[in-house]
Amino acid sequence: MAITRIKTSGVYGSKYNDVLAGLPGVMPAPTAADGGTGTTATVSFTAVSGATSYTAISTPGSLTGTAASSPVTVSGLTTGTAYTFQIAATNTSGQGAYSAASNSVTPEVPGAYESIASFVGTGSAGNITFSSIPSTYTHLQIRMSALTTSSGFNAEIRFNGDSGTNYAWHNIRGTGSAVQPNGVASVAQIGGTWPNGTTTTNPSVLIMDIHNYASTTKFKTIRNINGQETNSNGMMTVGSGMWSSTSAITTILINMGGGALTTTSAISLYGIKG
Amino acid sequence: MPTTYTLISSSVLSSPAAVVSLTSIPATYTDLVLRASMRTANSATSIGLTIQYNTYAPSFGSNTNYSRTRILGNGSTVTSATMIDREAYFAGEINAATSTANTFSSFEMYIPNYADSSQMQTARGFLCQENNGNTAFINATATLYNLTTAVSSIFVFPNTTTDFVVGSSFRLYGILKS
């Protein structure tokens, strides 16, 4: 096969590259990115004329991936290891030489816990609604740190605007001096699981889990833990609740019962993948 | 940056199963979280949920390495009980065949320092069984695996011979100290 000498010019003068006749030339260094799986990376590049495919190779490991166009995915990488990649074009005459190295990337396993939405108190009375909840997660979790501007509110929860008597809830409540069981069925909301508001500087806390919220074959069972400390007497609650519906949850309404959250309060909705 | 909450294993039953095995758990995380939504085929309203580490022994032989203390509420009473030197961790009651249709129990188990072989394995569980009625079961539990052995497998099964039904789901997450 013939060898062709190609002259190129740059800021440091001219140089010559000997390439096999017909093979693609050396490509510019590609750009690499984490593939988002923990074991892959994507290598992006500018296409060259006449190429039929492109091959990326890793350092370390010499793992390769091939594609007809940008980007090339390289698989089999080790999570937490830093890699660079070179790219080479192939045409009907064969594969050209590899480019200079890309930027360095470190594949990481994607997190399963993401924020969906958050509400910060305004000091004004009003209910809180999380709407247009995507169905792309497996579980939902509500986390609340709440302090009200007036005493004696009791928040309740409904799903998808359903105000029918399709809910039940139960809990175990400890007050520091007694333990109380509670529970009702065929009611219009999940209640009794939220600590009362206070007018002190001590916010109530709550974590509520809703498994398989997007299922269309299961009734929705929730679990929650919440507590209220007022530096004089407190209340600790573990509870459960049910919405007797096989509809996927797309909206969560938290009825504040006329209470107003202070501007230091926050209720956040998270999605857990899986 | 390392992520802190990562899915390790996911099992959604497409056919009934007597046990769900979460094996080859990597030791690279700090804590484990098991989340499950389940129901069994046993002809009862509820049935016990059982968990073992590392070795699956459903016949409940001589293994006596588990203790558990729980608070149980059913809507009208609250009780507490302890089980010591037992064959498994008994996490509480879950829905069974005569429960209201479409009801699945919700369970979370948190196992801190699961890969530490210098201490015994303590975990907490929170299991809720709602049945669209006045009675429900809320189990808040603490459990001890009294061996200084890292947890590398978790076996989840009903404590009576029966199956988890189709649609029951079991997901194991790892939390990484960052």
Identify which has the larger pLDDT, A267 or A229: A267
Bridge partner residues of B143 (DSSP): B68, B123
User: Which of B35, B73, B126 lies nearest to residue A139, judging by beta carbons?
Assistant: B35
CA B43, B171, B39 angle in degrees (round to 5)? 10
User: Which of B5, B77, B132 lies nearest to residue A185, judging by beta carbons?
Assistant: B132
Q: With contacts defined as CB-CB under 8 Å, which chain B residues touch A241?
A: 130
In this complex, do A274 and B7 lie within 8 Å of one another by their Cβ atoms? yes
pLDDT-derived band at A86, boundaries 50, 70, 90:
very high
Nearest CA in chain B to A172: B73
Nearest CA in chain B to A213: B37
SS3 of residue A169 by DSSP: strand
Measured between alpha carbons, how far is B114 from B148 in angstroms, rounded to an integer?
A: 10
**E strand or H helix at B91:** strand B89-95
Global pTM reads 0.82
In this complex, do A183 and B134 lie within 8 Å of one another by their Cβ atoms? yes
Q: With contacts defined as CB-CB under 8 Å, which chain A residues touch B77?
A: 181
pLDDT digits (tens, 9 = 90+) for B35-84: 999 999 999 888 999 999 999 998 887 789 999 999 999 999 999 999 99
Does residue A166 have a pLDDT over 60? yes
Give the residue from B28, B80, B94, B106 with the most A CB atoms within 10 Å of its CB, the best one to mutate.
Answer: B106
Measured between alpha carbons, how far is B107 from B130 in angstroms, rounded to an integer?
A: 12
Measured between alpha carbons, how far is B128 from B73 in angstroms, rounded to an integer?
A: 10
Measured between alpha carbons, how far is B108 from B138 in angstroms, rounded to an integer?
A: 12
pLDDT digits (tens, 9 = 90+) for A141-158: 999 998 887 766 678 899
In this complex, do B138 and A239 lie within 8 Å of one another by their Cβ atoms? yes
Give the residue from B132, B165, B168 with the most A CB atoms within 10 Å of its CB, the best one to mutate.
Answer: B132
Hey, is the C-beta of B105 within 8 angstroms of any chain A C-beta? yes
Measured between alpha carbons, how far is B50 from A49 in angstroms, rounded to an integer?
A: 63
User: Which of B6, B35, B37 lies nearest to residue A218, judging by beta carbons?
Assistant: B37
Predicted confidence at residue B59, as pLDDT, reads 84
User: Which of A172, A218, A272 lies nearest to residue B73, judging by beta carbons?
Assistant: A172
Measured between alpha carbons, how far is A101 from B15 in angstroms, rounded to an integer?
A: 49
The tokens describing B173, both together, are 């997450």
SS3 of residue A76 by DSSP: coil
Region A170-184 average pLDDT:
93
Token pair 């009003």: residue: A126
Hey, is the C-beta of B11 within 8 angstroms of any chain A C-beta? no
Bridge partner residues of B124 (DSSP): B110, B142
The residues, ordered by sequence, that sit 6+ positions from A26 with a Cβ below 8 Å of its Cβ are: A17, A96, A97, A98, A99
Nearest to B170 by CA among B59, B7, B46: B7
Compute CA B50 distance to the chain's CA centroid, rounded to the nearest angstrom. 6
What is the phi/psi pair of residue B32, to 5°?
Answer: -120, 145
The tokens describing A186, both together, are 């065929």
**DSSP one-letter string for B63-74:** ---EEEEEEEE-
ipTM confidence: 0.93
User: Which of A139, A221, A244 lies nearest to residue B104, judging by beta carbons?
Assistant: A221
Region A236-250 average pLDDT:
96
pLDDT-derived band at A1, boundaries 50, 70, 90:
very low
Region A228-257 average pLDDT:
91
Does residue A111 have a pLDDT over 60? yes
CA A226, A231, A232 angle in degrees (round to 5)? 100
